[in-house]
C-alpha cells in the first residue's frame, strides 16, 4: 500500500510550480491594466555573477513584496535584468583568454568584444536561472541588459544631453588609476585599507649642497615628479632660508620652495614634497602655483624616463631602490614604521595610484542638489530613515564623477574628434562631419563609460525611455527600490540624480535598505576566506521556502545578517509543520466546506477565525512598512502555536466524532477557511509549499497566485473578530496549561487520568468552564472536572493559580508532599518578589500623584491578582505541611 508522504519534500514541488507559474504567465505585468500599479526594478546582478547570499536576501524581499501586492489585487511589474559590469566582466574574459595563453591585445578591440558577447551568451544566464530557483516572480519576458540596444540608446541620449547642458566635460585631472585593470576608477571604486608601510624622511639639500629641508613621504619613488617643496606661509622655521630652492635628490634638478596654506605645520617637519601628477593635493597646489606636472609612473605601473636610471622599473621595486640610493648619499634622514590608508581597486585589489590623465566627468553638484531635495521633501522615502543621513552626507560633499574607463567592454563614449581641427563632436550616432569645421574624418573616443552610468538610468531605461512608452506611464516612478546599503552611493544616489533630471520625477517612492549577509562570525563572505555559504546548497538541503522564510525572519537586523544553516533548519521544521497540519486538515475538509453553515460556532472555531483575521491584518500592516521579520514572526506564531498547538488539538474530538453532526460540518468549514487564508498569507514568504497545498485543497481553482488576501475592505472581513471568544479561550488555555504544569512537575504519566476542581468567583470563568469543560477535560486528560465558588479545599491537592481562579488537582495518595511543598515555596517566593515591586509603587505618593490613571489601575489590579495568588498558595502550602 502506498504510504502518504511523511515529510515535505521540496525538490520536485519547486520545479513543478515554478514551471507552472511561468507557463501560465502569472508574473506578467500589463501596461494597460486599470488595477492599481505596483512596480519594482531589480538591482541588476552582474552577468558574471553567481547567486550569493546578498542576491538571495535582496531578491527574496522583493519577491515577497511583489507576491503580496499581487494578492492584494495590484497590477505588479517586477522588471528583471542584468548588468554588463564593465571591469568585472572584462576581467573574467581576460582571465579566460590568459588561461589559453592569449590576451585581448592580440585579438584587438572588436574581436575581444565579440568574445565577451559570446561568453555572455553561454554563461550569462546562469544567474537568471538561479534567481528562478529562489522563486523570483519577475516578468521575465521583459528582461533587459544594460548593453542591449534600447538601453544603449538611452545611455547615448543621456550622455549627449548632459554634454550639451555642460554637465559632462573632459579634462586633465588626478584620477585613481588601476595598473592591473589599466583604467581610471571613480572615487567610489577605490577601497581604502589600512596598510603598514614606512614614513621616509628625506633631506632635500639647498642648492649649495649644504643643509636642506627634510620632507616626509610614504612614496619616495614619486620624488622624480616633484616640482616644489611646500611649507606653510606662517611657519617660522622656514622664514629666513639660505635659499629659496632645493636640489631634488638623485636628479640634481633644482625645485622651488613655495608657501601654501594646505601644508600642515604640525605634521613631520612641516615641509611637503609636491608631486602634482601623482597626488590629488599636490595637483591642487601645483595648479595654484603654476607648477609643471611630470608623470613618473606610467599606465603600467612602471617608472617613466623622468626617473632617470630607474626608468622602466616597477613602482614598488623602484621604491626600494630609491631608498637605498638615498641612504647611500646620506639623504635618508629617518625611516619609521607608519600605518596609513592606501587605496585599492575594488575589482582586483591592486594598489591604485593617483594619476594625472585626461578623463570625462559628470558635474555632480547641480544633479545632487535635486536628489537631496527629493528626499528632504518626502518624494522619496528612505527606509530605515537612518540611511537618509548617509545619503545626504555623501551628496552634500559630492565631487565630480569620473565616468570614463580605459577598457573595451562597455558603452563607448559617443564623442568623435575631428582629424582636421581636433575639435569634439558629441552625437547620438556617428557624425558624418565635424560640427566645427565640417571635415569628414572623425575618430571616436576609445574610452567606455563607467558601468554605473548605465545602471543610473535603469528605472527608466528598462521601461523604454527615451520613448514615452506605455510602460513608463503605467509604472514610473517605481513603488520601491530594495537594495543593500553598500550601493547606496554607487547606485541609489545616482539613479535619483538621473531620474529626476531626465524624467522630472523621482525613480522610486520608497527605498528600502536592507542588511548585508555575513557568515556566522559576522565576517563578510568571500571566496578567499572560504566562509561562503552557497544559497543553492542551502536550497537543495532545506528547500527554498525554508530558506526564504529564514531570510525574511532575519531581515530586521541592523546592518548585518549572520547566516547560519542552523537557522534555516529551524524554519524547515516550520515548513514541515505546515505541511503536516495541512495533511491533517485535508483529511477532513471537502469542497462542501467552503461555506460555514449557519448556527453558533464552537468556541475554538470562533477563536481561530478571530485570530486568523487579526494575524492577517497585522502581517499585512507589517509588510506595508517593510517589517518583514514581524510579518514572518506573526505567521509562524499563528500557524504553529495557535492553529496547530491549540485549534487542531481542540477539534479532534469533533472531527473524529459522529458523522453528520452539525458540529462536524461546521468544524470542517472553519478548518477549510482558516487553512485557505493561512496559505494565502504565507504565500509571499513560502510560495512553493503553499501552492502545492493549495492544489490539494478542495474547492480552490487555479493558482494561489490568483487568490486574494483576506484583508480590510473585503466584504465580510472582520466579521469573525471576536474579543469575547479570545478571552474565553485564554481562560481555557491557562487552565489546561496549569494542569499540564502540575503533571509535568509531579512527573505524572500522561496516561494517568486526573480530576480537577476549579474555584472561582468570576461568573465568566464559571460559565466558560461549564460550557467548554469538554475541551479542558480532553486536552488536560481529565476524568472529572468541576467548578465551584471558593469553599472547602480538597485534601492533598496540587494547585495551579490562574487569572481569577484556582485549580485543584486532588492527588490523594499519589501526591509527593515534599515535592509539592518545594514547588509551592518556590512559587510563593517568586510571587513575593513581584509583589514587593508592585507594593513599592503603590505606596509611593509620587507615583500615585503623577502616573496616568490607566497605569495606576493596571498596577492596582496587578497587586490584587498577585496577592490573591500568593494567599491561595500559602493556604495550600500550610495545608500540605500539616499533612506531613
**Of 44, 270, 459, 466, which lies in the binding site for RNA, with binding defined by CB under 7 A?**
270
* Contact range with RNA by CB under 7 A, out of 55-63, 278-286, 459-467, 756-764: 278-286
Q: For residues 93 and 215, which CB has a smaller minimum distance to RNA in the complex?
A: 215
Residues 6+ apart with CB under 8 A from 46: 82, 83, 85, 88, 89, 127
> Least Å distance between CB 395 and RNA?
12
Q: Choose between 75 and 582: whose C-beta lies nearer to RNA.
A: 582
Site for RNA in 37-96 (CB under 7 A): none
The window from 211-219, 308-316, 420-428, 499-507 that contacts RNA (CB under 7 A) reads 211-219
User: How many whole angstroms separate alpha carbon 259 and alpha carbon 277?
Assistant: 19
Tell me if 24 sits within 8 A of 698, measured CB to CB.
no
CB of 393 vs RNA, minimal distance in Å: 6
CB of 584 to RNA, least distance (A): 3
Choice between 587 and 882, CB closer to RNA: 587
Q: Which is closer to RNA, CB of 303 or CB of 418?
A: 303
Beta bridge partners of 729: none
Q: What is the DSSP letter of 342?
A: E
By CB under 7 A, name the one of 24, 573, 762, 771 that touches RNA. Answer: 573
Residue 20 or 392: the one with the smaller Cβ distance to RNA is 392
Of the listed pieces 16-24, 133-141, 581-589, 678-686, which binds RNA according to CB under 7 A? 581-589
Q: Is the CB of 312 or the CB of 837 nearer to RNA?
A: 837
Q: Which of residues 780-799 bind RNA (CB under 7 A)?
A: none
- Interaction between residue 237 and RNA (CB under 7 A): no
Q: Is the dihedral of CA 144, 147, 148, 149 positive or negative?
A: positive
Burial class (CB in 10 A: 0-12, 13-18, 19+), 165: exposed
CB of 67 to RNA, least distance (A): 23
For the chain, report the end-to-end CA distance as a whole number of angstroms.
59
- Rg from Cα positions in the chain: 37
**Contacts (CB under 7 A) with RNA, residues 519-538:** 520, 522, 524
Closest-CA residue to 507 (of 482, 479, 467, 473): 479
Q: Is 301 exposed, middle or buried (0-12, 13-18, 19+ CB in 10 A)?
A: buried
Quick one: which segment of 154-162, 215-223, 251-259, 440-448 binds RNA (CB under 7 A)? Answer: 215-223
Considering the complex, state which of residue 20 and residue 387 has its C-beta at the smaller distance from RNA. Answer: 387
Tell me, residue by residue from 302 to 341, as one string, x for binding to RNA by CB under 7 A and - for no binding: --------------------------------------xx
CB nearer to RNA: pick between 220 and 464: 220
C-alpha cell at 8: 515535505
**541 lies in the binding site for RNA (CB under 7 A):** no
Residue 381 near RNA by CB under 7 A: no
How far is CA 674 from each of CA 27, 69, 155, 587, 651, rounded to the nearest angstrom?
Answer: 26, 21, 51, 15, 13
With contacts defined by CB under 7 A, how many residues of the chain interact with RNA? Answer: 97
Q: What are the residues whose beta carbons fall under 8 Å from the beta carbon of 357, sequence distance 6 or more?
A: 172, 173, 175, 177, 184
3-state DSSP assignment of residue 189: helix
Please say whether the beta carbons of 316 and 323 come within 8 A.
Answer: no
- Which residues in the 187-206 window bind RNA by CB under 7 A? 187-188, 191-192
Residues 713-772 that bind RNA (CB under 7 A): 736-737, 740-741, 743-745, 747, 749-750
Classify 833 in phi/psi space as left (phi over 0), alpha (psi -120 to 50) or beta: alpha
Q: 520: which residues sit within 8 A by CB, 6+ positions away?
A: 562, 563, 564
Q: CB 640 → RNA: shortest distance, Å? A: 6
**Does position 24 bind RNA by CB under 7 A?**
no
Which DSSP string corresponds to 558-605?
Answer: SSEEE--HHHHHHHHHHHHHHHHHHHHHHTT--GGGGSPPSSPPPHHH
Give the x-and-dash track for 388-407 against RNA (CB under 7 A): -xx--xx--x-x--------
Among 117, 119, 584, 717, binds RNA (CB under 7 A): 584
Residues 854-883 that bind RNA (CB under 7 A): 855, 858, 862, 865-866
Span 501-520, contacts to RNA by CB under 7 A: 520
Of 408, 410, 295, 399, whose CA–CA distance to 357 is shortest?
295
Range in contact with RNA (rule: CB under 7 A) among 204-212, 456-464, 555-563, 692-700: 555-563
Alpha helices in 587-721 (DSSP H): 603-624, 628-637, 649-655, 662-682, 687-696
Where does this chain touch RNA (CB under 7 A) — which range of 26-34, 56-64, 567-575, 694-702? 567-575
To RNA, the closest distance from the beta carbon of 826 in angstroms equals 7
Which residues, numbered 432-491, are part of the site for RNA (CB under 7 A)?
A: 486, 489
Identity of the residue, 558 or 713, whose beta carbon is nearer to RNA in the bound complex: 558
Q: How many helices (H) and strands (E) does the chain have?
A: 28, 29
Question: Which three cell numbers mark 391?
Answer: 545619503
| Identity of the residue, 439 or 860, whose beta carbon is nearer to RNA in the bound complex | 860
Stretch that binds RNA, among 414-422, 432-440, 565-573, 758-766 (CB under 7 A): 565-573
What is the nearest approach in angstroms of RNA to the Cβ of residue 530? 17
CA pair distance 225, 300, nearest whole angstrom: 17
> Residue 158 or 175: which CB sits closer to RNA?
175
Determine the Cα–Cα distance for residues 499 and 548; give it in Å rounded to an integer. 32
Which one of the spans 161-169, 258-266, 306-314, 808-816 is the region binding RNA (CB under 7 A)?
A: 258-266
Stretch of 240-248, 427-435, 628-636, 662-670 lying at the interface with RNA (CB under 7 A): 628-636
Does 846 engage in binding with RNA (CB under 7 A)?
A: yes
User: Stretches 61-69, 148-156, 431-439, 553-561: which one binds RNA (CB under 7 A)?
Assistant: 553-561
* Cα–Cα distance measured from residue 15 to residue 688, given in angstroms and rounded to the nearest whole number: 9
Contacts of 438-445 with CB under 8 Å at 24 or more apart are 442/416, 442/417, 442/418, 443/416, 443/417, 443/419, 444/412, 444/413, 444/414, 444/415, 444/416, 445/404, 445/412, 445/413, 445/414, 445/415, 445/416, 445/417
Q: Could you tell me which of 441, 393, 449 has the C-alpha nearest to residue 419?
A: 441
Note whether 351 binds RNA by CB under 7 A. no
Bridge partner list, 256: 245
> To the nearest whole angstrom, how small is the minimum distance from the Cβ of residue 85 to RNA?
18
**Residue 281 binds to RNA (criterion: CB under 7 A):** yes
Binding piece for RNA, criterion CB under 7 A, among 7-15, 66-74, 94-102, 139-147: 7-15
Classify residue 145 by its DSSP letter.
E
Binding segment for RNA (CB under 7 A), chosen from 115-123, 418-426, 437-445, 851-859, is 851-859
821 lies in the binding site for RNA (CB under 7 A): no
* Cis, peptide link before residue 466, omega less than 30° from 0: yes
Q: Which of 241, 160, 231 has its CA nearest to residue 207? A: 241
Asked if 273 and 204 touch (Cβ cutoff 8 Å), the reply is yes
Choices 305-313, 386-394, 668-676, 687-695; region in contact with RNA by CB under 7 A:
386-394
Task: Map residues 635-674 to x or -, x wherever contact with RNA holds by CB under 7 A.
Answer: -----xx--xx--xx--x---x------------------
Q: Which is nearer to RNA, 122 or 846 (CB)?
A: 846
By CB under 7 A, name the one of 182, 381, 423, 583 that touches RNA. 583
Residue 173 sits in the site that holds RNA (CB under 7 A): no
Task: Please say whether the beta carbons of 486 and 516 come within 8 A.
Answer: yes
Strand-strand pairing, 508-514 and 381-383 = parallel
Amino acid at each position: 500500500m502506498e504510504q502518504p508522504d511523511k515529510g515535505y519534500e521540496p525538490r520536485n514541488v519547486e520545479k513543478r510550480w515554478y514551471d507552472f507559474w511561468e507557463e501560465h504567465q502569472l508574473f506578467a505585468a500589463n501596461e494597460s491594466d486599470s488595477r492599481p500599479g505596483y512596480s519594482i526594478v531589480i538591482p541588476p546582478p552582474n552577468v558574471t555573477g553567481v547567486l550569493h547570499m546578498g542576491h538571495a536576501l535582496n531578491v527574496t524581499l522583493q519577491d515577497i513584496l511583489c507576491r503580496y501586492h499581487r494578492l492584494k489585487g495590484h497590477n505588479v511589474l517586477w522588471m528583471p535584468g542584468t548588468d554588463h559590469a564593465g571591469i568585472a566582466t572584462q576581467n573574467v574574459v581576460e582571465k579566460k583568454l590568459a588561461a589559453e595563453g592569449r590576451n585581448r591585445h592580440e585579438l584587438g578591440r572588436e574581436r575581444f568584444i565579440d568574445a565577451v558577447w559570446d561568453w555572455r551568451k553561454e554563461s550569462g544566464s546562469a544567474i537568471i536561472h538561479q534567481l528562478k530557483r529562489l522563486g523570483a516572480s519577475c516578468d521575465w519576458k521583459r528582461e533587459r541588459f544594460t548593453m542591449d540596444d534600447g538601453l544603449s540608446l538611452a545611455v547615448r541620449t543621456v550622455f549627449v544631453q548632459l554634454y550639451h547642458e555642460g554637465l559632462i566635460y573632459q579634462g586633465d585631472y588626478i584620477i585613481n588609476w588601476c595598473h592591473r585593470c589599466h583604467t581610471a576608477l571613480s572615487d567610489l571604486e577605490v577601497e581604502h585599507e589600512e596598510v603598514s608601510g614606512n614614513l621616509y624622511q628625506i633631506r632635500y639639500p639647498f642648492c649649495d649642497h649644504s643643509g636642506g629641508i627634510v620632507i616626509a613621504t610614504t612614496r619616495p619613488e614619486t620624488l622624480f615628479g616633484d616640482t616644489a617643496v611646500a611649507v606653510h606661509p606662517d611657519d617660522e622655521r622656514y622664514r629666513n632660508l639660505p635659499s629659496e630652492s632645493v636640489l631634488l635628490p638623485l636628479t640634481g634638478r633644482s625645485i622651488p620652495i613655495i608657501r601654501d596654506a594646505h601644508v600642515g605645520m604640525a605634521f613631520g617637519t612641516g615641509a611637503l614634497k609636491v608631486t602634482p601628477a601623482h597626488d590629488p593635493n599636490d595637483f591642487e597646489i601645483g595648479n595654484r602655483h603654476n607648477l609643471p606636472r611630470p608623470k613618473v609612473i606610467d599606465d603600467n605601473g612602471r617608472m617613466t624616463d623622468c626617473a632617470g636610471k630607474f626608468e622602466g622599473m616597477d613602482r614598488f621595486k623602484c621604491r626600494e631602490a630609491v631608498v637605498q640610493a638615498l641612504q647611500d648619499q646620506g639623504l635618508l634622514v629617518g625611516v619609521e614604521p607608519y600605518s596609513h590608508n592606501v587605496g585599492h581597486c575594488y575589482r582586483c585589489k591592486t594598489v591604485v595610484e593617483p594619476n594625472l590623465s585626461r578623463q570625462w566627468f559628470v558635474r555632480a553638484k547641480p544633479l545632487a542638489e535635486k536628489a537631496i531635495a527629493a528626499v528632504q521633501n518626502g518624494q522619496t522615502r528612505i527606509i530605515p530613515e537612518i540611511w537618509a543621513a548617509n545619503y545626504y552626507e555623501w551628496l552634500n560633499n559630492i565631487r565630480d564623477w569620473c565616468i570614463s574607463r580605459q577598457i573595451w567592454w562597455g558603452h563607448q563614449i559617443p564623442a568623435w574628434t575631428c582629424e582636421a581641427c581636433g575639435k569634439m563632436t558629441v552625437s547620438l550616432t556617428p557624425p558624418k562631419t565635424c560640427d566645427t569645421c565640417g571635415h569628414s574624418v572623425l575618430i571616436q573616443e576609445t574610452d567606455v563609460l563607467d558601468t554605473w552610468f548605465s545602471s543610473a538610468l535603469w528605472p527608466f531605461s528598462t521601461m523604454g525611455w527615451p520613448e514615452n512608452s506605455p510602460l513608463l506611464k503605467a509604472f514610473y516612478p517605481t513603488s520601491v527600490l530594495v537594495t543593500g546599503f553598500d550601493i547606496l552611493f554607487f547606485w541609489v544616489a545616482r539613479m535619483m540624480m538621473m531620474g529626476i533630471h531626465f524624467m522630472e520625477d523621482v525613480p522610486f517612492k520608497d527605498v528600502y535598505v536592507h542588511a548585508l549577509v555575513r557568515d556566522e562570525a559576522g565576517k563578510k563572505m568571500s571566496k578567499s576566506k572560504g566562509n561562503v555559504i552557497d544559497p543553492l546548497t542551502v536550497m537543495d538541503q532545506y528547500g527554498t521556502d525554508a530558506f526564504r522564510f529564514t531570510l525574511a525572519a532575519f531581515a530586521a537586523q541592523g546592518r548585518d545578517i549572520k547566516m547560519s544553516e542552523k537557522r534555516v533548519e529551524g524554519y524547515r521544521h516550520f515548513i514541515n509543520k505546515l505541511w503536516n497540519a495541512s495533511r491533517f486538515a485535508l483529511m477532513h475538509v471537502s469542497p462542501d466546506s467552503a461555506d460555514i453553515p449557519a448556527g453558533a460556532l464552537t468556541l475554538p472555531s470562533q477563536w481561530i477565525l478571530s485570530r486568523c483575521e487579526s494575524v492577517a491584518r497585522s502581517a499585512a500592516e507589517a509588510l506595508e512598512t517593510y517589517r518583514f521579520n514581524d510579518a514572518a514572526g506573526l505567521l509562524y506564531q499563528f500557524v504553529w502555536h495557535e492553529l496547530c498547538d491549540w485549534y487542531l488539538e481542540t477539534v479532534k474530538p469533533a472531527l473524529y466524532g459522529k458523522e453528520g453532526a452539525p458540529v462536524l460540518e461546521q468544524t470542517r468549514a472553519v478548518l477549510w477557511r482558516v487553512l485557505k487564508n493561512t496559505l494565502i498569507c504565507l504565500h509571499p514568504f513560502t510560495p512553493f509549499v503553499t501552492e502545492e497545498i493549495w492544489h490539494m485543497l478542495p474547492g480552490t481553482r487555479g493558482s494561489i497566485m490568483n487568490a486574494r488576501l483576506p484583508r480590510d475592505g473585503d466584504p465580510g472581513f472582520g466579521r469573525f473578530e471576536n474579543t469575547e471568544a479570545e478571552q474565553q479561550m485564554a481562560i481555557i488555555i491557562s487552565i489546561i496549561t496549569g494542569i499540564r504544569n502540575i503533571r509535568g512537575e509531579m512527573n505524572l504519566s500522561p496516561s494517568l487520568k486526573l480530576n480537577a476542581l476549579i474555584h472561582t468567583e468570576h461568573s465568566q470563568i464559571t460559565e466558560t468552564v461549564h460550557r467548554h469543560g469538554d475541551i479542558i477535560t480532553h486536552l488536560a486528560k481529565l476524568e472529572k472536572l468541576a467548578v465551584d465558588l471558593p469553599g472547602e479545599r480538597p485534601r492533598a491537592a496540587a494547585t495551579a493559580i490562574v487569572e481569577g481562579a484556582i485549580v485543584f488537582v486532588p492527588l490523594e495518595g499519589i501526591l509527593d508532599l515534599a515535592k509539592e511543598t518545594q514547588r509551592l515555596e518556590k512559587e510563593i517566593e517568586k510571587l513575593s518578589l513581584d509583589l514587593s515591586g508592585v507594593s513599592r509603587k503603590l505606596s509611593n505618593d509620587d507615583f500615585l500623584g503623577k502616573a496616568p490613571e490607566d497605569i495606576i489601575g493596571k498596577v492596582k489590579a496587578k497587586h490584587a491578582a498577585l496577592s490573591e495568588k500568593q494567599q491561595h498558595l500559602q493556604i495550600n502550602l500550610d495545608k500540605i505541611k500539616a499533612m506531613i
